[in-house]
Amino acid sequence: MLSDNTTIKDLQVDSHKTACEKGWWFDNNRNFGEQLMLMTTELAEVMEEYRCHGLNTEAMLRIENGKPEGIAVEFADLFIRVADTVEKYGIPLGKALQLKAEYNRTRPFRHGNKLA
Residue 6: the pLDDT is 85
Per-residue buried b or exposed e for 27-64, using 16+ beta carbons within 10 Å of the residue's own CB: eeebeeeebeebbeebeebbeebeeeeeeeeebbeeee
What are the residue boundaries of the structural domains of the chain, listed by start? Answer: 8-103
Q: Rounded to 5 degrees, what angle do the CA atoms 107, 112, 116 make?
A: 105
Positions of the chain with pLDDT under 70: 1, 116
Residue 1: the pLDDT is 67
pTM of the predicted protein model = 0.88
- Does the 8-103 domain belong in CATH 3.40.50? no
